[in-house]
Structure 1
Amino acid sequence: MERTRADGAATVARPAADAAPVGRTARLGGFDHSPADEGRRRAVRRMKALATGLLLIVAVIYVLAKWAQSSGAGGWTGFVAAAAEAGMVGALADWFAVTALFKRPMGLPIPHTAIIPTKKDQLGQSLGDFVGENFLSDEVVRRRLRAVGIGSRLGGWLAEPRNADRVTAELSTALRGALTVLRDSDVQAVVGEAITRRADAQEIAPGIGTLLEKVVAEGGHTRVVDLVCARAHDWLVEHGDSVMEAVSGGAPGWTPRFVDRRVGDRVYKELLRFVTEMRDMPGHPARGAVDRFLTDFATDLQRDPETRARVERLKSEVLGRGEVQDLIASAWGAVRAMIVAAAEDERSQLRLRVRASLLSLGQRMAVDKRLQNKVDGWLEGAAGYVVTTYQGEITSLITDTVAGWDAEHTSRKIEAHIGRDLQFIRINGTVVGALAGLAIYTASHIFG
């Protein structure tokens, strides 16, 4: 089914699309058409009827006044006719002006009419330029943010326990979501590669040597030596027969058995005595030898190229083993499970510490002017960077959106929002025209 538009062009009638279903939002012409828009259109139609009715009233008054004037009713008829005539002129002029915004009056191809349908894209570009120049400039954004004082407001907001609880809960949800989305295999691969790359890029021997040198100088290794000596003593006491059998078994076959047993017994006793003395005597010469060995080894780790090269080869071999990569993978799985469990538990130390940190930060920000200025400066800098860097992309959202709208539906959409006020212009034009006409007619009579 076709119908004829006001400009004379034929278009397909869409009665079902013009009115959205009750309580639902329809998609028309590139934007949403809601029940509220339909209500605005009804209000516009009522105002159009009122303005047109007022025009008809003054037209009837004009006809009656001219009839009365021709019938000799008196001089007052001229005043009424002049006011009614000027009211009609004002009403028709404002009708033309209002109608020319949305369509061609009476379908006539008059220049500079149907402004919104024909100039839609230019209006969108102008609107985008206006927003970019007056709202998305670095100076305007910084001045506005500075006037708002986000730092102090954010501090006061965070200082409230219920707000800190809310932020903590949101952070926990975000953390759980991020850990859920991340695939363990990807994270394990990244962590393993990062550890391996970092270890390969940095030589570890000098650092180990420096640490060992410091430990020996401070006597931190003595506990390890004490532990080794104590365990060696206990092992010898428990496995004395095994030691003597090992010594006897290594003797030549031509020696008598009793000689082998006596030699084994002697070796065992001397070994036990040596370990016991080393355990009980902090100043034992063997302990001093261990100290000198560790000191020399620490020096070689820092300065000897051969020792450092051996450590690097050992490091590469260890990192390349599958057991080490499996250990990294299992470590990530354990850490992930621990974090998720802590994020879900409202009484976990993680959430309690985060909440306490937020409250402390909010209390500081609420009273610390220096911290407020720092936060405001960060936000101003970030906002300024966004608007200056992406101003074109932001304004193109306006221009591209307007360009995607259908011209007819755009006119109807805009008319639904501002048409009611425009109809008041017609009413005011009728009234003001009538008063102006009356004033001019009166003045012409007074001044001849």
Structure 2
Amino acid sequence: MAQTLRLDPQGTPVPPTEHPDAEKAAALKRMKNIALGLLVFMAVVFCFAFAFQEHYPWLTYVRAAAEGGMVGALADWFAVTALFKYPMGLKIPHTAIIPNRKDEIGASLGDFVETNFLSEEVVSQKLATTRIAQKVGAWLSKPASAQRVATEGAAALRGAIEVLKDDDVKDVIESMVRKHVLEPPWGPPIGKLAERIFAEGHHHALVDLLVDRSTTWIRTNHSTISGLVSDRSPGWVPQFVDGLVGDKIYTEIYKFARAVQDDPRHEVRLQLDGYLKDLAQELQHDPAMIAKAESIKAQVLGDPEVRELAGRTWETIKSALTDAAEDPNSELRLKFAAAVQDFGTRLVEDTELAEKANQWISNAAAYLVGTYKHEITSLITETVERWDAEETSQKIELQVGKDLQFIRINGTVVGSLAGLAIFTIATLVFG
């Protein structure tokens, strides 16, 4: 079946990508062929030297070297092969070590990593010299980096908003409102807050505003006040008397309002202060007033109102966050990027802050390693256990098999030298 060629953006055919292990497999095969070729070469040399050594005595030394090389090559071939499979299919004891002991190897590898790499001391020492906070700060202080963080954060925010279900969020908001707003009684906390406000005199500004507005309204509504007097007087009273009475009442009301306005210690103000302070105390301690406040709360925030409030709140938040995430120039994203860049600059310039950050990172990493190192290393053990025995052997041979073939080559060379040396020494000693 013909393979379909992929095209790059310019329309140029892209050659098919080889399997990532294809190069390693080719190198392993090449080294195996070299080792095998060297063994065959030694066998040919041995046969030639053995056949002609009577005619050429010096060939006995060549024969001894070739014989030793063959022995070394075969011995190392057996040793290397026994790691991954049964040599020539013979189930010799202590062969095919990796397939037969796969699970034990995985467990040992996990224990090795846990003991030597995932210890709190090792992690803490490494992080102490890494200066992560300063490096992160230097990266974050760059405008492009801060903008990238803001972009990635916006993408994460959009994803979270898409995943969240509106009804679920509304239920959460509603439950929070009920738990933190509706269920606690309103009277005591409102009374306590009002008591502090009234004791410190913060309400006087509001009283002044009300008095000023009332005085201004009275001054500009002479006809309205006079008209109220005329409308409520008996019909037999002459009209000019109504006018005189209305003017008199207007004048007295206006004088009274001006007096309250001008005198901070006016009796009305003092009475109002006393009433407000008593109200604050009643909201805290009077069961009848507390019950009345609860009744007002129930009337204002019933079930439909709370549900509607939760819905409007989530819609407002969702709309604001979505708009901010979609717009690269939104105020929220710009401020977030500026805050990230400022934080990065502080990590670089503020040594004390950087040291605190490094210490926190070190402590957090040490805690995670100390608490979850067994779970981390279990990934190695469980992964190896899931592997097929033959597949595991192939994977490991693919990774280290090329280097192991050098053992066969070295064994051939060392065997040749050893055979030559042994034969030479024996000849010199025994003749």
What TM-score, normalized by structure 1, do the two folds share?
0.82
Shift in CA distance, 302/236, structure 1 to aligned 2, threshold 3 Å: farther
Q: Which residue of 1 aligns with 2:45?
A: 61
**1:42-441 paired onto structure 2 within 5 Å:** 42-70=26-54, 72-74=55-57, 76-199=58-181, 200-201=183-184, 203-214=188-199, 216=201, 219-226=204-211, 228-230=213-215, 233=218, 237=222, 239-240=224-225, 243-244=228-229, 247=232, 257-259=235-237, 269=247, 272-281=250-259, 282=261, 283=263, 285-320=267-302, 322-441=304-423
Letter in 1 for 2:362: E
Shift in CA distance, 425/159, structure 1 to aligned 2, threshold 3 Å: same
Counterpart Cα distance in 1 of 2:241 and 2:283: 41
What TM-score, normalized by structure 2, do the two folds share?
0.85
Counterpart Cα distance in 2 of 1:82 and 1:189: 89
Counterpart Cα distance in 2 of 1:94 and 1:204: 86
What is the CA-CA distance between 1:322 and the residue it aligns to? 2.9
Report how many aligned residue pairs link the two structures.
412
Letter in 2 for 1:41: A
Shift in CA distance, 436/274, structure 1 to aligned 2, threshold 3 Å: farther
| Partners of 1:124 and 1:399 within 8 A in 2 | yes
What is the CA-CA distance between 1:22 and the residue it aligns to? 10
Counterpart Cα distance in 2 of 1:175 and 1:278: 61
Letter in 2 for 1:39: E
Letter in 2 for 1:225: L
Shift in CA distance, 36/330, structure 1 to aligned 2, threshold 3 Å: closer
What is the CA-CA distance between 1:167 and the residue it aligns to? 1.1
- The secondary structure found in structure 2 opposite 1:51 is helix
Moved more, 373-382 or 292-301: 292-301
| Partners of 2:198 and 2:273 within 8 A in 1 | no
Moved more, 159-168 or 84-93: 159-168
Per-residue CA shift, 1:83-137, capped at 9, x if unaligned?
0100000000001001101111111121000111111111111111111111122
Per-residue CA shift, 1:276-313, capped at 9, x if unaligned?
33443322544443333334333433454543443344
Identity across aligned pairs (percent)? 41
Shift in CA distance, 235/194, structure 1 to aligned 2, threshold 3 Å: farther
What is the CA-CA distance between 1:333 and the residue it aligns to? 1.9
> Could you list the runs of 5+ residues in structure 2 that have no partner in the other structure?
7-17
Letter in 2 for 1:335: I
What is the CA-CA distance between 1:425 and the residue it aligns to? 1.2
Per-residue CA shift, 1:152-199, capped at 9, x if unaligned?
111111122211111122222222332333233322332232233223
| Partners of 1:132 and 1:395 within 8 A in 2 | yes
| Partners of 1:247 and 1:264 within 8 A in 2 | no
Moved more, 212-221 or 380-389: 212-221
Counterpart Cα distance in 2 of 1:179 and 1:262: 74
- The secondary structure found in structure 1 opposite 2:160 is helix
| Partners of 1:232 and 1:275 within 8 A in 2 | no
| Partners of 2:43 and 2:66 within 8 A in 1 | yes
Shift in CA distance, 276/424, structure 1 to aligned 2, threshold 3 Å: same
> Could you list the runs of 5+ residues in structure 1 that have no partner in the other structure?
1-15, 24-33, 249-255
Counterpart Cα distance in 1 of 2:247 and 2:362: 81
Counterpart Cα distance in 2 of 1:288 and 1:232: 23
Letter in 1 for 2:103: D
Shift in CA distance, 210/440, structure 1 to aligned 2, threshold 3 Å: same
